[in-house]
């Protein structure tokens, strides 16, 4: 900027004014300065800018799994919200923790040091103390697609119990009485909630919890789905479920693939319900019945909550919960 000022024959302050308050400077000077900037190939230094101004124009989304289309769709919703709100002055950076707590922590540290305007995150563990600390230190954090126990952040999630419920209710209505649950459910969290919903639906139909057959996987990938499919096929016919409810679509697609390999017909031999309704679910071997989450809305809402927190005064943390819906396709309709 000093060089530009020199070249244009004005003071440094004027160059800054051209950049930040162009209306405060006469058209003639502005033209001179702009010419000098072009001439010298001036590029603003964002570090200095941010250091002095104190604020940053960057949001970040720390995704749990960049290779799962669900999260990239959520991210797309955030981008829309940021574009709409920021008047081109706001950008969203994506970080992929790939389920690794260490990577997640590294990104969070970096973002906090960078003094980003706010952090959106689908965390490995929504109750990790680190998230609360960051929020307390002043960087707003919004939890996406998870529900934290505490009240230090806003969050946006989907009613997973209800999602599980409608999935299994549908299967029961189709006449299934033994249903596999395929996923990595733990004591808390999303997958547990989906399973809980499944149990509720069974109960509502007068079927006990023993009608749910757990096939536990390590994670929720296509490969896990394939493995679970093989285990399922290996069960004796007397106990083998006639339907499977998968904790996400990747697992369901893997399961579907195993079925194709083993010549099990879907839905005749096995009905399948997935979760997330990613784009590929509709294009699958047998188009997949799935529980649709409003992906873009989740992202958009999360970004809006974050922006409200950074701009608004007297902010109250909110927990938004969306309601999923069942999309019925061939994989459950005989």
C-beta of 308: minimal distance to DNA in Å? 21
C-beta of 9: minimal distance to DNA in Å? 7
CA gap 24, 32 in Å, rounded: 15
Partner from a copy of itself, DNA, none contacting 1, C-beta within 5 to 8 A by type? DNA
Which of 161, 165, 162 has the alpha carbon at shortest distance from 179?
165
- Indicate whether 257 belongs to the interface with a copy of itself (CB under 8 A): yes
Q: Which residues contact 253 (CB under 8 A, 6 or more apart)?
A: 222, 225, 274, 280, 281, 284, 288
- Indicate whether 44 belongs to the interface with DNA (CB under 7 A): yes
- Indicate whether 204 belongs to the interface with a copy of itself (CB under 8 A): no
- Indicate whether 42 belongs to the interface with DNA (CB under 7 A): yes
Binding piece for DNA, criterion CB under 7 A, among 18-26, 77-85, 98-106, 185-193: 18-26
CA gap 109, 276 in Å, rounded: 30
Partner from a copy of itself, DNA, none contacting 173, C-beta within 5 to 8 A by type? none
Partner from DNA, a copy of itself, none contacting 244, C-beta within 5 to 8 A by type? none
Q: Judge whether 10 and 29 are in contact, CB under 8 Å.
A: yes
Which of 100, 137, 102, 97 has the alpha carbon at shortest distance from 120?
97
- Indicate whether 50 belongs to the interface with a copy of itself (CB under 8 A): yes
* DSSP letter for each residue of 52-82: HH----EEEEEES-TTSHHHHHHHHHHHHHH
C-beta of 39: minimal distance to a copy of itself in Å? 13
Q: Which of 3, 7, 29, 66 binds a copy of itself (CB under 8 A)?
A: 66
CB neighbours of residue 152 within 10 Å: 15
Longest CA pairwise span in the chain (Å) = 90
CA gap 33, 54 in Å, rounded: 25
Q: Which of 6, 17, 71, 233 binds DNA (CB under 7 A)?
A: 17
- Indicate whether 88 belongs to the interface with DNA (CB under 7 A): no
| SS3 (DSSP) at 106 | helix
- Indicate whether 99 belongs to the interface with a copy of itself (CB under 8 A): no
Q: Which of 41, 52, 137, 263 binds DNA (CB under 7 A)?
A: 52
Q: Contact residues for a copy of itself (CB under 8 A)?
A: 41, 43-51, 56-58, 60, 66-67, 69, 72-73, 75-76, 79, 83, 88, 91-96, 98, 103, 106-107, 110, 112-115, 133, 137, 222, 253-254, 256-257, 260, 279-280, 282-287
């Amino acid at each position: 900027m000093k060089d530009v000022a020199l070249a244009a024959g004005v003071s440094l302050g004027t160059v800054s004014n051209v950049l930040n308050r162009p209306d405060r400077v006469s058209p003639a000077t502005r033209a001179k300065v702009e010419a000098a900037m072009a001439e010298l190939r001036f590029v603003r230094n964002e570090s200095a800018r941010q250091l002095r101004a104190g604020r940053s124009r960057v949001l970040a989304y720390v995704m749990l799994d960049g290779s799962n289309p669900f999260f990239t769709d959520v991210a797309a919703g955030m981008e829309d919200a940021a574009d709409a709100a920021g008047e081109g002055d706001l950008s969203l950076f994506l970080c992929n923790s790939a389920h690794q707590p260490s990577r997640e922590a590294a990104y969070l540290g970096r973002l906090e040091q960078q003094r980003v305007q706010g952090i959106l995150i689908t965390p490995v563990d929504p109750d990790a103390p680190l998230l609360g600390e960051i929020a307390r230190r002043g960087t707003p954090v919004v939890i996406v697609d998870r529900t934290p126990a505490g009240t230090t952040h806003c969050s946006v999630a989907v009613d997973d119990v209800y999602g599980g419920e409608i999935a299994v209710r549908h299967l029961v209505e189709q006449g299934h009485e033994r249903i596999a649950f395929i996923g990595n459910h733990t004591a808390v969290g999303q997958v547990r909630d989906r399973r809980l919903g499944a149990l509720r639906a069974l109960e509502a139909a007068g079927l006990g919890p023993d009608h749910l057959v757990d096939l536990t996987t390590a994670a929720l990938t296509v490969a896990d789905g394939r493995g679970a499919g093989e285990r399922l096929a290996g069960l004796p016919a007397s106990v083998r479920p006639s339907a499977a409810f998968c904790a996400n679509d990747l697992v369901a697609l893997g399961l579907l693939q195993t079925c194709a390999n083993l010549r099990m017909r879907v839905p005749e031999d096995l009905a399948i319900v997935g979760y997330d309704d990613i784009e590929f679910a509709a294009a699958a071997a047998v188009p997949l019945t799935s529980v649709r989450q409003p992906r873009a809305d989740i992202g958009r809402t999360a970004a809006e909550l974050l922006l409200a927190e950074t701009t608004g005064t007297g902010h109250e943390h909110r927990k938004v919960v969306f309601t999923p819906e069942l999309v019925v396709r061939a994989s459950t309709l005989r």
